Amino acid sequence: MSRFGKVAVLMGGRSAEREVSLRSGGAVVAALRRQRVDAHPIDTGNEYLGQLARGGFSCAFIALHGRGGEDGTIQGALELLGLPYTGSGVLASALGMDKVRSKQLWRGVGLPTPAFRVMRDEGDTEAALDELGLPLMIKPVREGSSLGATRVAEKDQLAAAFREAAALDKEVLAERWIQGKELTVSILDGEALPAIGLETPRGFYDYAAKYQANDTRYLLPSGLPAAREQELQALSLAAFEALGASGWGRVDLMLDQAGAPWLLEINTVPGLTDHSLVPMAAKAAGIDFDALVLRILETTGL
């Protein structure tokens, strides 16, 4: 594995997803070292650009989630340093982190995504309600792991939901709620992995369902007919590529009660923890965790 040289595994950071990122990064370092890759953890919550510039690294494995790591910021810094890195580039990372701009782009190329409205102050909530009706999903435009996200079923819940999301972002997304089956499709090096169905008693797949709860159900196989799952894999790959994303990632979507698909968002640096979805999908495709991590590292081009 000497062909990879000295690998910086970037983790932690300063986003609201710091703790999840530290878990992902720790798992990546352990997996790489098991395969005799010279992997070094670097917490980007501290001064780190000097470490990267002077550390003799050949490439970077990005295990950062949220702002500063998944939004094009660290990708731009690595471009300036001339260090190859895993996953999507600057533009695709920024688009993927921005739920509104990604939905606008999907809509522009004819891909299905739920109706939405951007809210910038509490006064916008009435217009969103009039336009979209209830129930609604309210969430920050640039945040991950369902942080600040709330399902609103009653009008009197809307203001509080807006304030919770606005505490994390100056722009808040109001999205028409899709009732149906929640699914996610992982992407690895241009290939869509098996779809995973998600079921939780919490109302939707929120932060607790993702990282804390033991009652979340992961349906793998998804339970869909093979032809239908292939259609969703193709749609997810098209959505991923429409934003210019590359290397690896995950696309989240819904199937409504009539069976129509709706794209929700993409994740350009998904989690790699023991609760994470990409490792589950990879395992179903015959790729164990260590092999998955190595496949992702290979997206640096080394």
For the annotated catalytic residues, the residue numbers are: 17, 145, 211, 250, 252, 265, 267, 271
Reported in sequence order, the residue ranges of the chain that DSSP labels E, i.e. its strands, are 6-11, 38-43, 59-62, 116-119, 136-140, 150-152, 172-176, 180-188, 191-192, 196-199, 217-219, 248-256, 261-267
Q: End-to-end CA distance of the chain: give it in Å, rounded.
A: 11
| Spatial contact of 4 and 37, defined as CB atoms under 8 Å apart | yes
Tokens in use for 83?
A: 């260090």
| Spatial contact of 25 and 9, defined as CB atoms under 8 Å apart | yes
Identity of the amino acid at 223: G
Angle of CA points 65, 96, 236, to nearest 5°? 110
Angle of CA points 167, 276, 163, to nearest 5°? 10
**Cα–Cα distance for residue pair 173/54, rounded to 1 Å:** 41
Residue 92 Cα distances to 178, 218, 240, 268, angstroms? 26, 28, 9, 8
**Cα–Cα distance for residue pair 72/92, rounded to 1 Å:** 8
Residue 235 Cα distances to 203, 245, 246, 299, 302, angstroms? 25, 14, 15, 22, 29
Tokens in use for 276?
A: 């994470």
